[in-house]
Every structure is written in C-alpha cells, then in structure tokens.
C-alpha cells in the first residue's frame, strides 16, 4: 500500500518542539509508521528554490494537512499572507483532509491575523486545542485512527456491534423488548409482532453476534446495563446560580437502559424549569407552557446519549443553571461535520448506528439529521436564543433559559413547575379522581387530564402521592416497569 502523506505545518519557531515530537511519534509508532509518511520543512536540505514554492508543493503531494496554529502569524509576503496561511489555503483549494490544532485556550493574546485565521477555520473545520506536545500526540492519534476507519483501512468492529463481554441472553429484559416491539410497530410499522421470539428480535436488529448480545443490545434492553458499562449512566445536576458550586442543591445519577436514561433525564429537567399554567377560560384543557420546549430538552439529551463515545470513562452530564441548560457528552462530531455545519441541512452520521436505529424505531430520533435544525427552530419560535454548540472537549449543547421578554404576554408570572395546593382543583386531587375507577398508567392518567404527554409535573405529583401512601404501584417489585400502573391505596 502506498504510504499516506502527512504535511505537518508550520515553519513557525514556536512549534519546533511540537513538530519534532509529532515526527518522532509517527516514525516510531508501529501502527502509524505502517500507514503514514510525513513531511517536515526543516528536514529538507538547502536547495536553490524559494521556500514558499517548496512547502506548497509538499502540501499538494500530501494526503493530510496538519495545521498547527498558535500566537504568531509569521512572516508576511507581498500579499500580507504568512506561510501558515498559504499552506492552509493551498490544502483547502485542493480538498486535502485537514486537521487543525490550536495551541492555547486564550485568544486575546494572539496576533490579530492569526485570530482571524482561527475564526475562519472554526466555521469550516473541526479543530482541537492543546497546550503541550504531550497533549497534541493523542489528539493527532485519534484523528488519524478516525481517518483510517473512514477509508476502511483499519477494520475494527464498531463499539455497538461488538460483543458485550460476559453478557448472555439471560441479561436481556424480555419485558423491555416486548414494550419496544409494541412501540416500534405503532410508531414505525416495525415488521415483527409483539410475541416474536426474543432472539429473533435481536437478530433482526443486528444485536446478536454469534449468539451473544452486543454492547448495543445490553444498552437498549439489558436488565442492568451499568453492570457491564458503568459510564453509560447519566449525571444530572441543578444549580441555583450560574456556576457549578458545591453543595449541589439537586444531584441525581440515573441508571437503566438508554430509553430509561432519556426519560429520567428529561423528567429531571422538566420538573425544575419554570412553567406557565393557564386556566379553562377558552377550553376544557388547561394550557401549559414551559420556558424551554420539551422537544428541545428531549433532542439535546437524546443527541448526547445516542451519539456519545461509550468507550470513554466519562458520563453524559445534564446541568441546569439559573440562566441555561447544558448537556455534555464524551464524544466528538464526525470528521465531515463542524459546530457550524450541524446547524445546516446535513446527512445523518450516527456515532453508534445500531443504537440510533432502535432509538429511531421507538421514535426518539429521526433519521434525516434534522434534529438540530428542529431544535433551533423551536427555540426561535419560543422566543429563546439559538442553542450554542461546542466540540472542543467532548460535545456540548447550551440552551439559554427564558428571560422576562419571553414570558407569555398578558399571563400570570412564571412559576416553579408545580400546581399550588390553593387552587380550587389541585393536580393531586385530579390525579386521585382519575384513579377512583381502576388502575391507570402514567400515559393514561395524562390523557384523562387532557395532557398530550407525560409532563414533569405529573411525574412529580405521582412521586408525592406515592410517598404519602395515597396511591400504590401495581408492580411494586419492578418500579421502573413499562407496564407499571397506579391505583388508590387499599
């Protein structure tokens, strides 16, 4: 196989140590040296040729351009462009695979032209920040491994397709599979019936490998997924201020399948953000309006859980502050997407295709890569600022909370997500009334209350009624069962 050429930028003196460290690594690592050859400007002997012509020629000969951007801009030619800038432009013009690494986290000390170049790159490419050569090497390694996998030169099984160590069919919860079949058939016309053999279902979904459940199978339908993948849990925290400080007023770590993690995390957020509650002056259904649309919260959390890197020891974090909601996951964007491009129309490039497929069938996500655009549009229609995205250290979504100007006009003040007991007909009493005739599930209770979905307020009231022993579960030994119903305490 012909070696893949890497051009390591740039001629800036501030990167002498980093360039040499990268060259030594690429030359001495058994995997890297097998696939790649590299070019360093200082390794070329003196020749009777212009330096700029030489390095631009090498950019064209190479397959990958590695740009190192720092504080200095460099010597400028008659057009006011530095060698680093010329290299980048040449690589872009010739559609080279570009990897950009920026030294330092503070931009205010940089040369103004370098700041502009970094800003230009940020709109078009995924870039990574580093402080030392030791930090730069693993960043380059991960990027080159991704390149090899995309070119199908490195054939490792994807995480979700790999067998889950020490797991067996006995670790799959049949009840969860049955509920999924019911939902998928109703939502997407899934071809298998609710009474299908469990192994047949897993085979149909590509969740079995040589008779053993894959990582995806355990994450989606496992009895105790965190027994095998501890970091698959989700950590949720609520801070009263704008900074993460201790003690944390409300902190919960959720465990369970991906479906349960999504439901629990969304409920956590919806139970703590502000809610406007109207009256029945115009209809029998009581109107409600959350300061952040539920669909936006769901999309942010589903994205984090579906597309995270499950080989990482990090967990998804959902953090609610007084002024914003932040959802972070230990993952990265596909190499062909940036934080700018994900806001535009783009294809769907799931990091975990098998997980995404089942989440799609259960109608948690869509296939067409429109989720981010829908989120932006919903925030806009709700009077909220456009969500902010970051992919420098994991992937995060920041959603700003409502201000005074976004409250419903001519309506009562925002209030914490609750129904005051002083109302003539409190939600607690209405829930109790719905259960007088027979046990009901949460969705059935919500329907009788005139709600289109199970809101966080309803979950909160049910928890209160359970703790006060006014109601009880029909399946107490499985409190998270999808077949769970509630009845008045006997």
* pLDDT digits 0-9 by tens, 357-416: 899 889 898 765 678 889 999 999 999 999 999 987 899 999 999 765 455 554 444 444
Dump pLDDT digits (tens) for 420-467: 333 334 577 788 888 988 999 999 998 888 777 787 778 888 887 887
Q: How far is CA 55 from CA 4, 39, 40, 202, 292, in A?
A: 17, 9, 9, 54, 51
Check whether 482 has a pLDDT greater than 90.
Answer: no
The most confident of 6-10, 112-116, 139-143, by mean pLDDT: 112-116
Spatial CA neighbour of 272 closest among 420, 415, 416 = 416
Give the end of a domain, one of 104, 125, 150: 150
Check whether 268 has a pLDDT greater than 80.
Answer: yes
Whether 348 is covered by a domain: the verdict is yes
Same domain, yes or no: 83 and 185: no
- pTM of the full structure: 0.60
* Predicted local confidence at residue 90, as pLDDT: 93
Whether 422 is covered by a domain: the verdict is no
Residue 307 belongs to domain spanning: 231-352+362-406
pLDDT band at 187 (very low <50, low <70, confident <90, very high): confident
Same domain, yes or no: 370 and 236: yes
Q: How far is CA 334 from CA 150, 157, 214, 302, 312, in A?
A: 10, 17, 23, 17, 16
Whether 416 is covered by a domain: the verdict is no
d(CA 424, CA 474): 30
* Predicted local confidence at residue 414, as pLDDT: 47
CATH number for position 484: 1.10.10.10
Whether 12 is covered by a domain: the verdict is yes
d(CA 201, CA 195): 10
CATH number for position 73: 3.40.50.450
Same domain, yes or no: 89 and 11: yes
pLDDT band at 242 (very low <50, low <70, confident <90, very high): very high
Dump pLDDT digits (tens) for 397-411: 999 997 654 555 544
Whether 421 is covered by a domain: the verdict is no
Residue 38 · residue 8 · CB < 8 Å: yes
Give the end of a domain, one of 96, 122, 150: 150
* Predicted local confidence at residue 387, as pLDDT: 94
Same domain, yes or no: 109 and 37: yes
Give the H or E element holding residue 102: strand 97-103
Q: How far is CA 390 from CA 236, 327, 336, 451, in A?
A: 19, 11, 15, 35
* Predicted local confidence at residue 45, as pLDDT: 53
Same domain, yes or no: 180 and 99: no
CATH number for position 278: 3.30.565.60
Same domain, yes or no: 135 and 63: yes
Whether 281 is covered by a domain: the verdict is yes
Residue 10 · residue 74 · CB < 8 Å: yes
Number of domains in the chain: 4
d(CA 322, CA 249): 12
Same domain, yes or no: 138 and 114: yes
Spatial CA neighbour of 37 closest among 1, 68, 6, 2 = 6
Residue of 332 and 196 predicted with greater confidence? 196
* Predicted local confidence at residue 11, as pLDDT: 65
Give the end of a domain, one of 227, 244, 275: 227
**Burial code of 325-347, b = ≥16 C-beta within 10 A, e = fewer?**
bbbbbbbbbbbebbbebbeeebe
d(CA 128, CA 334): 13
Q: What percentage of the chain exceeds 70 in pLDDT?
A: 86
Task: Write the DSSP assignment of 173-193 as a string of letters.
Answer: -HHHHHHHHHHHHHHH--SS-
- The encoded tokens of residue 173 equal 């919860």
Same domain, yes or no: 169 and 137: no
* Predicted local confidence at residue 367, as pLDDT: 62
Q: How far is CA 439 from CA 471, 473, 488, in A?
A: 10, 9, 8
- What length is written for the chain? 490
Dump pLDDT digits (tens) for 96-119: 999 999 998 788 889 999 999 988
Dump pLDDT digits (tens) for 64-77: 999 999 999 988 88
Whether 418 is covered by a domain: the verdict is no
Same domain, yes or no: 144 and 183: no
In degrees, rounded to 5, the angle at the alpha carbon of residue 481 between the alpha carbons of residues 480 and 486 is 90
Dump pLDDT digits (tens) for 153-172: 876 667 888 899 899 999 99
Check whether 46 has a pLDDT greater than 60.
Answer: no
Same domain, yes or no: 243 and 196: no
Check whether 237 has a pLDDT greater than 90.
Answer: yes
Average per-residue pLDDT for the chain: 84
Whether 237 is covered by a domain: the verdict is yes
> In sequence order, which residues have a C-beta less than 8 Å from that of residue 218 and are 6 or more positions away?
164, 167, 171, 172, 225, 228, 229
d(CA 85, CA 88): 5
* Predicted local confidence at residue 409, as pLDDT: 53
Same domain, yes or no: 243 and 109: no
Same domain, yes or no: 341 and 275: yes
């Amino acid at each position: 196989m012909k070696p893949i050429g890497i051009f390591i930028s740039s001629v800036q003196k501030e990167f002498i140590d980093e360039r040499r460290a990268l060259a030594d690594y690429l030359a001495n690592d058994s995997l890297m040296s097998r696939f790649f050859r590299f070019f360093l400007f200082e390794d070329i002997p003196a020749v009777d040729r212009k330096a700029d012509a030489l390095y631009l020629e090498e950019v064209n000969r190479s397959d990958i351009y590695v740009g190192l951007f720092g504080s200095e801009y460099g010597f400028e030619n008659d057009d006011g462009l530095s060698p680093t800038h010329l290299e980048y432009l040449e690589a872009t013009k010739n559609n080279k695979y570009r990897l950009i690494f920026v030294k330092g986290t503070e931009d205010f000390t940089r040369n103004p032209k370098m700041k502009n170049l970094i800003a230009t790159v940020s709109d078009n490419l995924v870039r990574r920040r580093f402080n030392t050569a030791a930090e730069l090497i693993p960043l380059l390694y991960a990027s080159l491994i991704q390149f090899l996998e995309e070119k199908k030169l490195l054939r490792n099984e994807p995480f979700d397709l790999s067998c889950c160590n020490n797991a067996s069919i006995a670790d799959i919860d049949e009840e969860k599979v049955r509920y999924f079949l019911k939902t998928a058939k109703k939502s997407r016309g899934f071809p298998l019936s609710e009474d299908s053999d469990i192994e047949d279902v897993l085979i149909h979904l590509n969740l079995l490998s040589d008779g053993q459940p894959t990582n995806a199978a355990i994450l989606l339908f496992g009895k105790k997924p965190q027994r095998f993948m501890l970091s698959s849990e989700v950590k949720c925290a609520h801070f009263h201020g704008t900074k993460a400080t201790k003690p944390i007023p409300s902190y919960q770590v959720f465990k369970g399948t991906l479906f349960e993690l999504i439901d629990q995390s969304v409920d956590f957020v919806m139970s703590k953000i502000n809610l406007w509650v109207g009256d029945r002056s115009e209809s029998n259904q009581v109107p409600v309006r959350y300061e952040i649309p539920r669909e936006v919260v769901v999309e942010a959390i589903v994205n984090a859980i579906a597309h995270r890197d499950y080989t990482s020891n990090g967990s998804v974090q959902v953090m609610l502050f007084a002024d914003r909601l932040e959802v972070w996951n230990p993952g990265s964007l596909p190499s062909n997407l940036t934080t700018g491009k994900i806001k535009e129309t783009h294809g769907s490039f799931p990091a975990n295709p098998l997980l995404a497929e089942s989440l799609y069938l259960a109608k948690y996500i869509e296939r067409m890569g429109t989720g981010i655009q829908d989120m932006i549009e919903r925030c806009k229609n709700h009077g909220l600022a456009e969500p902010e995205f970051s992919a420098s250290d994991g992937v995060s979504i920041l959603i700003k909370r409502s201000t005074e100007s976004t409250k419903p006009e001519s309506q009562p003040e925002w209030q914490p997500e609750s129904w005051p007991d002083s109302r003539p007909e409190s939600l607690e009493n209405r829930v109790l009334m719905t259960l007088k005739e027979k046990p009901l599930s949460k969705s059935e209770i919500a329907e009788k209350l005139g709600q289109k979905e199970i809101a966080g307020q309803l979950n909160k009231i049910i928890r209160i009624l359970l703790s006060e022993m006014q109601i009880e579960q029909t399946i107490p030994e499985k409190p998270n069962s999808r077949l769970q119903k509630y009845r008045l305490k006997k």
